Amino acid sequence: MINKDNLKALLLNLHFQQHGNQFNKQLNNTHLAVDFDKHELIYPEDQGLKIHERQTCNFSAQENFVVFECVHRLLEKGYKPEHIELELEPKEPKWQLGHGASGGRADILVTDNENNALLIVECKTAGKELDKAWDKTRLDGGQLFSYVQQ
């Protein structure tokens, strides 16, 4: 599981360059960074990546590190920053997450060149959170089938 104690090792393994407590990586004409002094995860917003909720940009939740690694992998595969949105809150009514749930945000939305939804990525930390989500998916489809309906 990714946490703030092993994040530096992960970043080095992903070939980020360390400069003191800052880690940076250039990939496919874009950039990602992590600032350990400010506890910030820095995305290429200046190149069009949209962040709807800033809570995903800090060290407050382990899931934020999973989202960061996933965005890294998407950019590494060649997806453009302007086609990526984080913590997307749907237009009303909110997306239903499973049967009878109140709704919520998708962690990552990837769009195509015409701005149509291409991928919705729901990030989970390893262990209990992932196990619980997987059990819910097997039971009633959980978030997976709710997003498909949207």
List, in order, residues 6 or more apart from 54 with CB less than 8 Å away: none
Tokens of 70: 């996933």
First to last CA, the chain: 30
Report if residue 71 sits inside a domain: yes
Quote the domain boundaries for residue 108. 7-149
Provide the domain count of the chain: 1
Report if residue 102 sits inside a domain: yes
Q: Mutual orientation of helices 142-149 and 128-140 as an angle, nearest 10°?
A: 60
Q: Of 63, 99, 67, 66, whose CA–CA distance to 85 is shortest?
A: 67
The model's pTM: 0.81
Report if residue 2 sits inside a domain: no
DSSP at 26 = E
Report if residue 1 sits inside a domain: no
Give yes or no for a contact between 130 and 85, defined as CB atoms under 8 angstroms apart: no
Give mean pLDDT in consecutive 10-residue pieces for the chain, a chain of 150 residues. Answer: 93 97 95 98 97 93 94 96 87 43 72 91 76 66 55
